[in-house]
Amino acid sequence: MIKDFRVVLREWPAPEAGSELRERILMSRAGGRRVGLPVDRSAGWRVRLLVAAAAVVAIVAIATLGRGRANQGAYADLLSGAPWWPTVSAAQEPRTPPRAPRYALIGDLDQTRVAGGTWTYEGRTTTDGILTGTTGQFAITASATRLDGTPAWLVTTERRPIPDATDSLFVSQATLRPLRYAVNSSNSRTHIVQQYSVDSVHETIDVIGRGERHLRNTVALPGALHTPGLVLSAFATDLNLVTQALPLQRGWRGSAYTFGLMSQAGPIPPFVPIDFRVVGRDLVTVPAGTFECWKLEVIRGYEGEARSHLWVSRDRQWIVKAEYRGGDFVTEQVLTSYAGVR
Amino acid sequence: MATQATSPADSESADLVSRARLGDSEALGALYDAFGACLYRLAYRLIGSREDAEDVVHDVFVGLPEALGRYEERGRLGAWLRRVTARVALMRLRRRNHRREVGLEGADAVATPTPHDRTSEHATLQAAVDALPVGLRSVLVLKEMEAYSHAEIAEILGITAVTSRVRLLRALRRVRRELEDHK
């Protein structure tokens, strides 16, 4: 046996690149070929927004930006506080079109069940049985309000790992579809607004200072008009409202869409289906208490079929726990407290 | 600390970066001359295939003029390029694994004999490294072959330094076990 294989590894040889590679690169450029490369973390706040969005979607519900062991790094650490960027899975490679929803689009919501409040979660990642990261606490607050005369829920988040942005999401009380989402970086350099109509979204992104840019885009929304949409850019925190209105029962299943950023070229398409299915019942104990829960399988229809699970309390249908299991790690988000603010 | 590429002086780098941002092919070629070999080696070690490593480096440089628009020149260009290359390589590896393609063990290891292939022990070592899951292999390669610190690996892979350490221990344990099994 090799006595010290680590020494051998350090001296492991690598071949030289082919002599024609340089020419091939320059010819590709000259021929008009372009490649989107992974965004470095230093690219700034806009990137961190996407990071956070992807991360919290994973926290709250999904954790299925990709699949397989290759993405363990991303998933394992989405909940571990920092760094937030799921480097591999969310790199800026050419987009792959998402698949179609698996189930019928959700249409039978009971909006009268929805209550506001503040839900506080805590996340942690365990790798190979060892606690490898915690996110601290993450609070979602939903309160009843009106937006341009329309009854709405105002959803805000308090996320200690990403304190450099404030956001507000207005969700229609009637349809649980988004009405307006706005986010500002604390340094006032980045301002994003998504204004939703019945069937489209108009997005403005303004970045001032270094890398100044002003993006405008209007895009038609996919899916049926009565189907709730989850605003990925808003960390999908509206899911906590949607789950309250779902007609959960044994065997229930349904699909919806997540809405991301429309103008920002990136790996995550603007619209991705998300599929829910009740797979069982569990008694779950978290810091907020012990809850009898529906267990939901959640699959996000983009680049993979990795499944995460949600435990939703049977009485109020709050998200009590979210979990993603990889090959050698588990990420989970548990409810630590709730305060009603209706 | 990771091994550094032989890079142009800072002022020269800044000039090359400025010109490459504008799509100047001469500047892009100069950047390739400065960093291409280092980046290719990194890509090869991560991905384990000559062709794929060339494709990775090709994509990095073809995408570089636009990507440089997001390079803030706070750190060394070489280090930034290595991070980008590692990410592109890992993306490709992930896609390849999804397609269940044959990796290093099935292709280049045979096609590209190295001094280490001459003994069965080294072949076993190579097979053991190749058989590691991507998450473990990437940490092992970056730490043991490329001499990155755990903090640097954490940044490249988007994981924490603690996770990097855990993965390295697990990778080393698996490789050691494989080698012992083949004694």
Q: Are residue B152 and residue B140 in the same domain, yes or no?
A: yes
Using CA atoms in the order B85, B91, B92, B94, what is the torsion angle rounded to 10 degrees? 140
Residue A337 has a pLDDT of 92
Residue A341 has a pLDDT of 63
Q: Could you tell me the CATH number of the domain that includes residue B144?
A: 1.10.10.10
Alpha helices in chain A (DSSP H): 5-10, 21-30, 45-60, 72-78, 239-245
Q: Considering only alpha carbons, which residue of chain B is nearest residue A80? A: B160
**A71 phi/psi in degrees, rounded to 5:** -100, 10
* Pairwise CB contact (< 8 Å): B94 & A71: yes
Contact between A72 and A329 (Cβ < 8 Å): yes
B68 closest CA partner among B18, B7, B33: B18
* Mean pLDDT (whole number) for B48-64: 90
Of B67, B88, B111, at which residue does a domain stop? B111
Interface of A with B in 122-141 (CB under 8 A): 125, 127-128, 130, 132-133
Q: Are residue B79 and residue B167 in the same domain, yes or no?
A: no
Q: Cα-atom radius of gyration of chain A, to the nearest Å?
A: 21
Q: Are residue B14 and residue B103 in the same domain, yes or no?
A: yes
Q: Are residue B14 and residue B76 in the same domain, yes or no?
A: yes
* Number of folded domains that form chain B: 2
Contact between B105 and B96 (Cβ < 8 Å): no
Of B87, B111, B135, at which residue does a domain stop? B111
Residue A132 has a pLDDT of 60
Nearest-CB residue to A6 (from B61, B144, B170) = B144
* Mean pLDDT (whole number) for B92-99: 66
Residue A252 has a pLDDT of 95
Give the number of beta-carbon pairs within 8 Å between A and B: 204
The three-state secondary structure class of A183 is strand
* Pairwise CB contact (< 8 Å): A76 & B91: no
Of B58, B78, B111, at which residue does a domain stop? B111
Tokens of B48: 């384990």
Comparison of pLDDT for A161 and B127, the residue scoring more: B127
* Mean pLDDT (whole number) for B127-146: 87
Residue B125 has a pLDDT of 84
Quote the domain boundaries for residue B150: 113-183
* Pairwise CB contact (< 8 Å): B133 & A72: yes
Q: Are residue B3 and residue B72 in the same domain, yes or no?
A: yes
Residue B74 has a pLDDT of 58
Q: Are residue B20 and residue B46 in the same domain, yes or no?
A: yes
Residue A243 has a pLDDT of 93
Residue A142 has a pLDDT of 92
pLDDT tens-digit profile, chain A (342 residues)? 566 788 888 777 788 888 889 998 988 888 777 777 765 543 343 344 444 444 334 333 332 222 233 233 222 222 222 222 222 233 334 445 667 888 999 988 999 999 999 998 887 777 656 666 666 677 888 999 999 999 999 988 776 544 556 778 999 999 899 999 988 776 777 788 999 998 899 988 887 876 677 888 888 888 777 788 877 655 567 888 999 999 999 999 999 888 877 775 555 677 888 889 999 999 999 999 999 999 999 887 765 555 788 999 999 999 999 887 765 567 788 899 998 764
To the nearest whole number, what is the mean pLDDT of chain B? 78
Q: Are residue B160 and residue B99 in the same domain, yes or no?
A: no
Calculate the alpha carbon distances from A336 to A57, A126, A132 in Å.
18, 18, 20
One-letter amino acid for residue B98 of the chain: H
Place of tokens 């949409």: A229
Interface probe with B: pick from A71, A88, A92, A212, most Cβ of B within 10 Å: A88
* Mean pLDDT (whole number) for B17-21: 86
Q: Could you tell me the CATH number of the domain that includes residue B27?
A: 1.10.1740.10
Q: Considering only alpha carbons, which residue of chain A is nearest residue B44? A: A14
Length, in residues, of chain A: 342
Q: Are residue B99 and residue B175 in the same domain, yes or no?
A: no
Between helices B120-130 and B161-181, what is the axis angle to 10°? 140
Q: Are residue B19 and residue B79 in the same domain, yes or no?
A: yes
Q: Are residue B40 and residue B53 in the same domain, yes or no?
A: yes
Comparison of pLDDT for B67 and A265, the residue scoring more: B67
Q: Are residue B58 and residue B28 in the same domain, yes or no?
A: yes
Q: Are residue B94 and residue B117 in the same domain, yes or no?
A: no
